[in-house]
Amino acid sequence: MSYFTGLRCVHCGREYNPDEVEYFCPACGYHDGILDAQYDYESLRKVLNHASLAANPDLSMWRYLPLLPVQDESSIPDLHVGWTPLYDAPRLAAELGVALCWVKDEGRNPTASFKDRASAIGVVRALEQRAERITCASTGNAASSLAGFAAAAGIPTTIFVPARAPEAKIAQLLVYGAQVFCVQGTYDEAWELCMQASAEFGWYNRNCAINPYLIEGKKTVTLELIEQCATVTPGSYPDWVVVSVGDGCTIAGAWKGLREMHLLGLLPRLPRLLGVQADGCQPFVTAWRTHTALAPCNADTLADSIAVGHPRNFRKAMDAVLESHGAFVAVSDQEILDSIPLLARKAGVFGEPAGVAGVAGIQRALASGIILRSESVAIIMTGNGLKDIQSAIRSAGRAISIRPEMEEIRNAVGEPIAV
Ligand SMILES: *Cc1c(COP(=O)(O)O)cnc(C)c1O
Ligand SMILES: [Zn+2]
């Protein structure tokens, strides 16, 4: 049973009943009128607590059903999402120079990124609304994730991606049977097209920034993180939660999950958020440093999942970082590339560029005194490295090519050691 009570506009404060509006506040429009799902936390405290969670056999994001805006459980697609591993990574912590470092491997979701948490909810809502088709615009992962969940649920999809999306992500879309428009333009242009097509054809809109339900799926990553800390590192919780930022939905969702765990009495102290962007696309960093409004910019970074020049969830993400007394940092593409083998070799986790950007972000934040060496950090590793093989190869170099002869190996490794 869900304790979802309705939606509240983050701009004007108007409240709506659960089925009164589906996307944004009609009074404020889609730029400002972002809605936030509300729950009856008083009653939730009785059903979500240490004892009930410990006794819950469901090891997926649906273990938090009372905290999700789902009315009809029968519409939940049968594709396992969530309860991804949380690792305590001491060698990575030593390398970075922090007290403790956790890695939450979101690449272990069914379509290999964090976006599955949002798509799962999107598909449930679309089924509840009896939608005939779902659409989204995406830098790649939201698209492949929607395609996967829509396939599991049997709903057709139409997807808009920018031409520069990595090939592996486009291959996923086609394999899952989505109708794919590869837009010869930026993600921002793909986004506008998708919005217009959704309005014109009545397709259900899975764009995270204007669909308030999706972020509710995203928040489950930190509900899990906090619950898992208690077993992975009893008594320790992160001082910082590190998230790479494009549109801003992921970090806003992460913050909502943390606040809810705190509200339910399951997290003693709220961590701070570190939002990580790329040097070539850092609208959040600029606005945060200069205390100014959002100024959309160009998107020039190899980390395609965070190449978002016009973030669509600016307010929620900025508020999250400010409320947490956190910070935004930007890192170079070279630092992002270096982080791919670093994370793989020190923690055994292979991430795509946006997935590992947090590792580079921690190094920047340590160098500038934002994070202290005595503090602990948790990285949300948002996407699997096989999503973008081109960047992986650039980061790790080539294999040693040999003729099939022992002599070649001896030449390469030197004299054998006598045993
Ligand atoms: C989408 C995505 C992000 C950023 O999420 P936003 O909600 O756009 O801020 C980060 N990493 C990966 C792998 C993603 O797919
Ligand atoms: Zn409003």
Q: Which residue has the tokens 């983050």?
A: 10
The pLDDT of residue 42 is 94
**Mean pLDDT over residues 206-219, rounded?**
90
Mutate to test the pocket of ligand 1, among 106, 119, 247 (most ligand atoms within 8 A of CB): 247
> In the prediction, which pLDDT does 152 show?
96
* CA pair distance 419, 170, nearest whole angstrom: 51
Burial 108-136 (b: 16+ CB within 10 A, else e): bbbbbbbbbbbbbbbbbbbbbeebebbbb
Confirm whether 119 is domain-assigned.
no
Evaluate whether residue 162 is within a structural domain.
no
pLDDT tens digits, 79-116:
999 999 999 999 999 999 999 999 999 999 999 999 99
In a domain, 278, yes or no: yes
* The total number of structural domains that make up the chain: 1
Ligand 1 lined by 244 (C-beta under 6 Å): yes
| Closest ligand 1 atom number to CA of residue 317 | 9
Q: Is the CB of 69 under 6 A from ligand 1?
A: no
* Cβ neighbours, 10 Å, residue 196: 10
On the 0-12 / 13-18 / 19+ scale of CB atoms within 10 A, 369 is: exposed
Task: Tell the residue nearest (CA) to atom 1 of ligand 1.
Answer: 305
Packed helices 333-347 and 389-396: angle between N→C axes, nearest 10 degrees = 80
- Indicate whether 243 belongs to any domain: yes
pLDDT digits (tens, 9 = 90+) for 97-107: 999 999 999 99
Quick check: 367 and 97 in contact, CB under 8 A? Answer: no
Q: Is residue 189 part of a domain?
A: no
**Any ligand 1 atom below 6 A from CB of 246:** yes
The single residue listed with the structure tokens 């492949």 is: 144
Q: Ligand 1: which of 84, 244, 343 to mutate, most ligand atoms within 8 Å of CB?
A: 244
**What is the predicted pLDDT for the residue at 419?**
64
Is there an atom of ligand 1 within 6 Å of 352 CB? yes
Percent of the chain with pLDDT over 90: 86
Beta 157-162 vs 179-183: how paired, if at all?
A: parallel
Query: Does some domain include residue 389?
Result: yes
Cβ atoms within 10 Å of 59's Cβ, excluding its own: 11
User: Residues 306-334: what's their mean pLDDT?
Assistant: 95
Ligand 2 centroid from CA 15, angstroms = 8
**3-state class percentages of the chain: helix first, strand second, coil last, to nearest 5:** 45, 15, 40
Main-chain dihedrals φ then ψ at residue 204, nearest 5 degrees: -65, 130
**DSSP track, 153-172:** HT--EEEEEETTS-HHHHHH
Mean pLDDT of 46-60: 95
| Binding site membership of 105 for ligand 1 (Cβ less than 6 Å) | no
**CA–centroid distance, residue 374 to ligand 1 (Å):** 28
**Is residue 352 situated within a structural domain?**
yes
pLDDT in tens, 140-182: 899 999 999 999 999 999 999 988 888 888 999 999 999 999 9
Domain span holding position 378? 86-112+215-396
| Distances 208 to 3, 74, 243, 313, 382 between C-alpha atoms, Å | 21, 23, 16, 8, 16
Residue ranges of the alpha helices (H) in 134-280? 141-153, 167-175, 187-201, 214-218, 220-232, 249-263
Rounded mean pLDDT of the chain?
A: 94
The CATH number given to whatever domain includes residue 325 is: 3.40.50.1100
Express each pLDDT in 256-301 by its tens digit. 999 999 999 999 999 999 999 999 999 999 999 999 999 999 999 9
Dihedral pair phi/psi, residue 7, rounded to 5°: -125, 145
CB of 273 closer than 6 angstroms to any ligand 1 atom? no
pLDDT of residue 85: 98
**From 382, 384, 387, mutation site for ligand 1 pocket: most ligand atoms within 8 A of C-beta:** 382
Residue 237 has a pLDDT of 98
Instruction: For 365, list phi and psi in degrees, rounded to 5.
Output: -70, -30
pLDDT in tens, 238-260: 999 999 999 999 999 999 999 99
Q: So what's the pLDDT on residue 72?
A: 81
Banded pLDDT at 341 (limits 50, 70, 90): very high
282 ligand 1 Cβ < 6 A: no
Q: Are 147 and 159 contacting, i.e. CB atoms less than 8 angstroms apart?
A: yes
Contacts with 25 (C-beta within 8 Å, 6 or more apart), sequence order: 9, 11, 12, 14, 16, 32, 33, 34, 35
pTM: 0.96
Give the number of the ligand closest to the Cα of residue 13: 2
252 in any annotated domain: yes
Q: Is the pLDDT of residue 12 over 80?
A: yes
Distance of CA 281 to the CA centre of its chain: 17
Written as one string, the DSSP assignment of 218-229 is HTHHHHHHHHHH
